Amino acid sequence: MDAAYDAKRIEEISRGFGHVPIIDKNGRGKDVLPMAPHEAERYKIRSSVERANSRLKEDFGANNVMVKGHAKVSLHLMFGVITLFSDQLLRLLG
C-alpha cells in the first residue's frame, strides 16, 4: 500500500501537524537515497508495532469488543495483549 499514495503530500500534511513522518521512500523506478540510520530504526520499530496491533485486532479479539465501559474494555484488551505475548513467547521458545 505504501506505493499507492503520494509520499510528499503525506509528509507535508504530517509536518503540518507537527509530526515527524516515517515513510518508506519509493522512487518508482528512480534512484532513491536510503533512510538516515535513525529513521531506519524508527521505521523498523513502527513496522513491528503495526504487526502487533494487526495481530491483536485480527487474532485476539480487539476488533470485536462486545462490552461497554472503560474498565471492561481495558480488561478485554489486556487479555488479548497477554495472549499475544504468550503466543509470541511460545513461538520464540518452540
List, for residues 4-20, the tens digit of each pLDDT value.
Answer: 567 778 888 889 999 88
In whole angstroms, give the CA distance from residue 4 to residue 42.
22
List, for residues 18-41, the tens digit of each pLDDT value.
Answer: 988 877 776 666 777 788 898 888
Q: Helices marked H in 17-69 — which ranges?
A: 37-59
The mean pLDDT of the chain is: 85
Task: Report how many helices (DSSP H) and strands (DSSP E) the chain contains, helices first.
Answer: 3, 0
Q: How confident is the model at residue 1 (pLDDT cuts 50, 70, 90)?
A: very low
- CA angle 21–8–11, rounded 5-degree value: 25
Q: What pLDDT, on a 0 to 100 scale, did the predictor assign at position 4?
A: 57
For range 67-78, the mean pLDDT? 94
Domain ranges of the chain: 1-29, 34-94
Q: What pLDDT, on a 0 to 100 scale, did the predictor assign at position 59?
A: 92
- DSSP secondary structure letter of residue 5: S
